[in-house]
Amino acid sequence: MTDILPSTFAIIPLAAAIGLVVLTVASALRTRTYGRRLAAGDILWPAAHIALLAVMAYLCHAGMCIFEPGALVIFSLVVEAAGALTLARSAIAGVLDRMDPASGRILRPVRDVALMTAASVLSVWALERAWNAQYARIPILFFGVAVLVVLLAMLALYFAGQRTGALCTLAVAVCGGFGVAQYFIQQFKSAAILPSDLLALQTAAAVSGGYTYQIDRAVAESLIAVAVALTCLSFIQPAPAPERWRRAARVGVNLCCAGAVAAAMALGFTTVNFEEALDFTYDRWWPIATYSSCGFIPSFIAVAQDLPIPEPDDYTDEQADEAEDALVAAYDATLGQNPSRIAAEQQFAEVKPAIITIMNESFSDLSVYDGLREAGYTGPAYYNSLSDTLQRGCLMASTNGGGTANSEFEYLTGNSIAFVGNGKYPYQLYNLSNIDSLPKQLAALGYRSRAVHPQSPTNWNRSMVYPQLGFEDFISNDDFDEDAPHYHSGVTDRVTYDKVLEHLREDDGPQFIFDVTMQNHSGYDAGTVPEDEPMDFAPAGVTDANLLTQLNTYLTCIEASDRDLTYLIDQLRTIGRPVVLVFFGDHQPNMTTALNDVLYPGEDNLSHQWRLFESTYFVWANYDVAGNDQMSFNQELSINELAAQMLYMIGAPLTDYQKALLASRSEITSISANGYRGADGLCYELDANSPYRSLVDELRTIQYRNFARKIR
């Protein structure tokens, strides 16, 4: 890896910025000297280039540039030259006008389209160059489509801006901004920016402080393209309209043209299926692979077109009812007749235990990676040694490295992201007021539901979603002491556990408390945990020092969580009231993508990706649950089944939907956005022609009625 540029190199772009300021001021004075009017563009166009140079100077000064000094010199010279060229825009435009015998009606539109086309090509190149190491391999058709999309957007902005290049700069800025943003997302999470991520910008901003931000040469080259594109647009100027009525008419015509182009783009988005038109299929497991090979814009549009929840083939409510009734009947004839379940039902009616769920941020047992286990790591010790759980095992999540809200959604509603769509965030997209949920179900049994999360209540739209799901109280960051102990990325797990214990002790009525911790959130850079604590595991074959640092920082966080879990269990054992505890991790940490690639090269795609979505869980009680020997029965589940399984074991009433989920487990042991495991022990993709395909279709149909029909 290239070393970080010393902060003293900031003088290079700073000097270029100062030089461009001097040229701009000199040009402005010269214009005034000759008695000509100084237009706003004479200042604003070079100002954009000055801003790029100033930003680069700041990044260098802050130690955020990891490329060669020569690249910095090239960046500074090219951006300064591009900015200086904008100072000649009026003179050059005048020369072109004098060449046009039709007073600008012929050459000017041709010139404008040519300049916008050049700017569109540069914008798409800037978007891809910033992050995509495979950008040169993108098929020309896909690159051309991306350019066409940007060109149409520029054309609409061109007309809306009264045939100037001013508003067209928005398209350039968006492309450049997405390129840089995707660069950082790629660095931190090995993921792609999805359309639904745009609805989670506030959440992303709130949790972005734990990362180290540095740019490489690719980003610098991307910004050069942005600068040149802006210069191209600076030469787009309208012909003067001497008469007032013509100026007014021109404004109206231009706005109509802008609306027509925008309407054509909207019509194309709704009627042209990009996957079919371009003959490709985006990878719904791992969209970043498609983004890399097919380009950001075609892939992004394909994902956006897939956002609506598709109706199953030949769907009817009656068909969904029949499928659910059949599974409920199977449950009633088997699981519902189990003597253990009947005994637990009788006990639950009398006991009404408090139900606590800890969704621990990024908690997982990475000893599932053979190389790490062979290096001596055996997982969180206390967690794995807990011998009196009702049930525990592997928990299949629908997300890796992020997307906590989707794990929440699956647990609290019983609906699987598998049938909502990968890359969609229900918390951001839908009103969940009419959706069945665990808090609403327990409220009908006399429970008070509380949510705990030591972060901003607006993250993932929780302040709106939690009341929709039936939570009566939401304990968020404002309810924690400012001086509460912190670890790594937030207040400690133990601090949140104390909040849970406080409510258990102060309110002796039936309670459901859902605690979403923050301590283990990414990133996992060096120095984010106490110096005397970091672990030191080095799996064979892992030579990347940065990856090893992130891995051991993460494992150190899990060790801290394990200590806090010990505290919580000890407190619950002596709290003096019956409590059921559900503990699970929402997803694996983001660095496991790189770890998986190093430790398991050459694997088939299904096996390789499956491992990344394995989390872990247990269900525990501090009292003897009737019909259960509490000997840590091990069973794989998916997150959307976890609440139903917990309620079944403790004897709580179940909805028909939950009964259907439990009955389906005789054939499908777990299901997530990444596929499912059949009773034969094999893993299958969601659309695979497996022995369980008909049951998958039935579950899709039932969930469509249970969820999609209620959010319309």
Superfamily of chain region 317-710:
Alkaline Phosphatase, subunit A (3.40.720.10)
Task: Encode pLDDT of 333-372 as tens digits.
Answer: 999 999 999 999 999 999 999 999 999 999 999 999 999 9
- In the predicted model, what is the mean pLDDT of residues 38-62? 91
Task: Read off the tokens for 53.
Answer: 């140079």
Task: Encode pLDDT of 389-411 as tens digits.
Answer: 999 999 999 999 888 999 999 99
| Cα separation values, 612 from 369, 397, 400, 500, 617, Å | 10, 9, 6, 30, 16
pLDDT reported for residue 379:
97
Task: Encode pLDDT of 70-128 as tens digits.
Answer: 999 999 999 999 999 999 887 776 666 666 655 456 677 888 999 999 999 999 999 99
Helices 89-99, 41-61: crossing angle, 10 deg rounding: 140
**Cα–Cα distance for residue pair 594/27, rounded to 1 Å:** 52
The structure tokens 């040149």 sit at 228
Contact 196, 423 (CB under 8 A): yes
Task: Encode pLDDT of 249-279 as tens digits.
Answer: 888 899 999 999 999 999 999 899 898 999 9
594: amino acid identity, one letter: A
pLDDT reported for residue 203:
64
pLDDT band at 601 (very low <50, low <70, confident <90, very high): very high
Contact 615, 582 (CB under 8 A): no
- Residues 6 or more apart whose Cβ sits within 8 Å of residue 462: 405, 427, 451, 453, 474, 476
Q: Which helix (H) or strand (E) holds 320?
A: helix 317-333
**Cα–Cα distance for residue pair 137/127, rounded to 1 Å:** 15
Segment among 45-49, 168-172, 708-712 with least mean pLDDT: 708-712
Contact 455, 207 (CB under 8 A): yes
pLDDT reported for residue 100:
60
pLDDT reported for residue 284:
67
- In the predicted model, what is the mean pLDDT of residues 510-525? 95
- In the predicted model, what is the mean pLDDT of residues 523-531? 91
pLDDT reported for residue 88:
85
pLDDT reported for residue 584:
98
Task: Encode pLDDT of 312-323 as tens digits.
Answer: 999 999 999 999
- In the predicted model, what is the mean pLDDT of residues 16-26? 94
Task: Encode pLDDT of 177-214 as tens digits.
Answer: 999 999 998 888 777 888 877 766 776 676 666 777 89
Q: What percent of the chain has pLDDT over 90?
A: 78
Q: Which residues pair with 677 in a beta bridge?
A: 670, 683
The DSSP output letter for 470 is T
pLDDT band at 51 (very low <50, low <70, confident <90, very high): very high
Angle at 210 between CA 205 and CA 215, to 5 degrees: 85
389-396 and 637-638: which strand pairing?
Answer: parallel
CB atoms within 10 A of CB 275: 18
DSSP string, 79-130: HHHHHHHHTTHHHHHHHHHHH-TTTTTTHHHHHHHHHHHHHHHHHHHHHHHT
Q: What percent of the chain has pLDDT over 70?
A: 95
DSSP string, 245-293: HHHHHHHHHHHHHHHHHHHHHHHHHHH--HHHHTT----SS-HHHHHHH
| Cα separation values, 362 from 397, 516, 561, 613, Å | 11, 11, 11, 11
Contact 135, 105 (CB under 8 A): no
Among residues 381, 383, 390, the alpha carbon closest in space to that of 360 is found at: 383
The DSSP output letter for 197 is G
pLDDT reported for residue 423:
77
**Cα–Cα distance for residue pair 19/371, rounded to 1 Å:** 55
Q: Which helix (H) or strand (E) holds 463?
A: helix 462-469
Task: Read off the tokens for 544.
Answer: 């990347």
Contact 659, 436 (CB under 8 A): no
Give strand ranges (E) for 276-431: 354-360, 389-396
pLDDT reported for residue 243:
64
pLDDT band at 305 (very low <50, low <70, confident <90, very high): confident
- In the predicted model, what is the mean pLDDT of residues 527-556? 94
Strand, helix or coil at 436? coil
pLDDT reported for residue 104:
53
Among residues 343, 329, 310, 115, the alpha carbon closest in space to that of 231 is found at: 115
| Cα separation values, 583 from 3, 159, 248, 517, 627, Å | 43, 57, 66, 11, 21
Q: Is pLDDT of 1 > 60?
A: no
pLDDT reported for residue 380:
97
Task: Read off the tokens for 398.
Answer: 């629908």
CB atoms within 10 A of CB 698: 21
120: amino acid identity, one letter: S
**Cα–Cα distance for residue pair 558/249, rounded to 1 Å:** 67
- Residues 6 or more apart whose Cβ sits within 8 Å of residue 96: 107, 108, 111
64: amino acid identity, one letter: M
Task: Encode pLDDT of 229-254 as tens digits.
Answer: 999 999 998 776 556 666 778 888 99
Q: In the chain, where does the domain assigned CATH 3.40.720.10 lie? A: 317-710
pLDDT reported for residue 705:
97
CB atoms within 10 A of CB 295: 26
Segment among 281-285, 508-512, 630-634 with least mean pLDDT: 281-285
Contact 495, 484 (CB under 8 A): yes
- In the predicted model, what is the mean pLDDT of residues 705-709? 96
pLDDT reported for residue 198:
78
pTM value surpassing 0.75: yes
**Cα–Cα distance for residue pair 624/578, rounded to 1 Å:** 9
Q: Is the dihedral of CA 96, 97, 98, 103 positive or negative?
A: positive
User: What is the chain's alpha carbon radius of gyration, rounded to the nearest angstrom?
Assistant: 29
Q: Which residues pair with 515 in a beta bridge?
A: 358, 452
Contact 48, 173 (CB under 8 A): no
- In the predicted model, what is the mean pLDDT of residues 126-140? 95
pLDDT band at 35 (very low <50, low <70, confident <90, very high): low
pLDDT reported for residue 189:
73
Among residues 369, 316, 419, the alpha carbon closest in space to that of 603 is found at: 369
